[in-house]
Amino acid sequence: MTRHLITSAIPYINGIKHLGNLVGSQLPADLYARYQRARGHDVLFLCATDEHGTPAELAAAKAGQPVAEYCAEMHAVQSRIAEGFGLSFDHFGRSSSPQNHALTQHFAGVLADQGLIEEVVEQQIYSVTDGRFLPDRYIEGTCPNCGFDSARGDQCDNCTKQLDPVDLIEPRSVISGSTDLEMRDTKHLFLRQSQMKDKLDAWINTKDDWPVLTTSIARKWLHDGDGLQDRGITRDLNWGVPVKRGREDWPGMEGKVFYVWFDAPIEYIACSQEWVDAGKGNDWESWWRTDRGAADVRYTQFMGKDNVPFHTLSFPATIMGSGEPWKLVDYIKSFNYLTYDGGQFSTSRGRGVFMDQALEILPADYWRWWLLSHAPETSDAEFTWELFQSSVNKDLADVLGNFVSRITKFCRSKFGEAVPEAGSYGAAEETLIADLTARVAQYQAHMDAMEVRKSAQELRAIWAAGNEYLQAEAPWTTFKSDPDKAAAQVRLALNLIPLYAVLSAPFIPQAAEKMLTAMGAEASDWPDDVPAALTRLAPGHAFEVPEVLFAKISDENREIWAERFAGARE
């Protein structure tokens, strides 16, 4: 038994996430966690809300709420939606937790002791009216590139050009609208990542099994231009982890907080402390400290490609630089972007489907199946309503749902609601069992390798094998001349249902549970022995014909939803 530590990139607190965010980290992480649990391994699956930084303050101000109250409310919302999607976190924590405050301050202290923190004086925009320094996103103005009059201090949302606040024409404070701005000196702490470059480079070079997307991004940051740069880890903000050196005050850093990119990955560790303190588990250190048993842990991270630099370089620099025996990540599964119908998801324009909206119109498994079977692994993927409708109707309704409905209804009509006893298997049945044995082994290989799309394709082929068997052997025809042979065919087909349920549960857990319930079967161990698994429902075992597992999406609904989520036209 392997111990699997699994973390998903933590979603930002400012609003409900869209489907692209979901498939880029949390959903494939859940797929892997569910699979490893089913294989009998010990799993700790952690996620949290990322609650610090400028966007949290701005979102709270827009909502007219104190930032702490806003974050608490949005954590509850995101937690509820995650539960609706069947995300099986062992704990869903908060980066604003006391545990993360203390651990972030601890890391800052030991990094300083190792000579990896430098105090740097730099100039930053100060608002005289607001009486405070303004981080990038607290400044708006006209973009010098395209003339957009609401460009932010870090980027123009209209032309996507990266900016510095001093680039803006007629800059103003987002807080007050004041243009009474001036440049003033302010002191900040920088993590001396450049000192860790060789060690990080050597570590990355050992990861020849990582996705090319992950290592190529890491190497680009290490070697392009001037190479890995030191990076600021503090900000002049009110909301965040107060800057301390361990438990001690840090002279000259009064009123400052740690930059969100620094404290957010540390929350992975703090989240396990929260898990213990919530009474859900024990001994968090055995998962994270190699001197306390974590050396035998397999640690896997899931994230979108925009998070890769922080997880391949900055967070490892923090861990390595501390000089303490913390567990480093073993594998990083990164994803490209999911686009929406020829463009980007947009919260401000109401463009695309967001997680709460998705659950309003269809059950979670519809979305889970489409997103995972179209996961943007090797390139960006595009969501269109036509693709979604086709996949749901063909894969879920026509292949899996149709198989379960057809065989249970036929058995009920000819043999009653119990597994028939008569007859014995012949060549066709032995061929199917052999084929399924090979396919299940291939499915497991893809899942072990975290090849999400290939896993979905193999799972669909396993479902299709049952339909093809029924189509070829036609027990409804056999029954007319040889009822005993038909009984054997039905018995094997009925036993496919709990097998399909166990194999499918990582992808579509709600439907898998319905299949098991209908067949009067409990969740079972992973079917390492397929022939044995196909004798699970003994003759005489009672079952019920389930309700329709998956309803088809009509053209009318597809058109309604496409119009509803198209967003404001430009």
Answer whether CATH 1.10.1740.110 is correct for domain 381-533: no
Topology match between the domains 117-191 and 381-533? no
Give residue 108's region: left, alpha or beta (phi > 0; psi -120 to 50): alpha
Report the length, in residues, of the chain. Answer: 570
- Rg (the chain; Cα; Å): 27
Angle at 193 between CA 188 and CA 198, to 5 degrees: 165
Give residue 335's region: left, alpha or beta (phi > 0; psi -120 to 50): beta
Spans of the chain, pLDDT less than 50: 569-570
**Model pLDDT for residues 117-165, shown as the tens digit of each residue:** 999 998 889 999 999 889 888 899 999 999 999 998 888 878 867 788 8
Residue in 481, 475, 478, 480 with CA at minimum distance from that of residue 493: 475
| For the chain, domain boundaries | 3-113+259-335, 117-191, 381-533
Structure tokens at 537: 């429902």
> Cβ contacts of residue 57 below 8 Å, gap of 6+?
67, 237, 238, 239
**Model pLDDT for residues 486-505, shown as the tens digit of each residue:** 999 999 999 999 999 999 99
pLDDT of residue 211: 95
Binding site listing? 143, 146, 156, 159, 347
Ramachandran angles phi, psi of 162, nearest 5°: -70, 135
- For residues 564 and 550, give the distance between their C-alpha atoms in angstroms, rounded to a whole number: 23
**Model pLDDT for residues 174-184, shown as the tens digit of each residue:** 989 999 999 99
pLDDT of residue 201: 97
What's the CATH number of domain 117-191, 3.40.1530.20, 2.170.220.10, 1.10.390.10, 3.40.50.1110? 2.170.220.10
Indicate the fold that domain 3-113+259-335 takes in CATH. Answer: Rossmann fold (3.40.50)
pLDDT of residue 568: 56
pLDDT of residue 569: 41
pLDDT of residue 156: 85
Binding site listing for Zn(2+)? 143, 146, 156, 159
Binding site listing for ATP? 347
Structure tokens at 32: 């892997």
pLDDT of residue 30: 98
Residue in 405, 394, 340 with CA at minimum distance from that of residue 369: 394
- For residue 242, the 8-state DSSP code is B
